[in-house]
Amino acid sequence: MTAEPTRAAPLTPHPERLAPEQPHYAEIMHAHDAAVERGEFGYLDPRTGLFVMTATYHLDRGQCCHNGCRHCPYLGAGEGL
């Protein structure tokens, strides 16, 4: 069973995934929001260079993959969070 996605506008990561007080939060969210605006599935994390899927990608996917993704709107879907 998949939990209903959180649909806060704009979609922001759950604090357990990326806390707003994290030093690079604004930079990360800027990269995320720019990717969403361009209609891209993800973006390169500005600090690590790793590819991160956007919240929009996860919503379109329709379910949680249980990998702890930063922007997953299905938080709590059996992940123990």
The structure tokens 């690590």 sit at: 48
Percent of the chain with pLDDT strictly greater than 70:
79
pLDDT of 75 > 80? The answer is no
Mind listing the pLDDT tens digit for each residue in 33-70? 999 999 999 999 998 999 999 999 998 988 888 888 99
| Phi, psi at 52, each rounded to 5° | -125, 130
Predicted model pTM = 0.77
In angstroms, what CA-CA distances link 63 with 12, 26, 68, 75? Answer: 17, 27, 12, 10
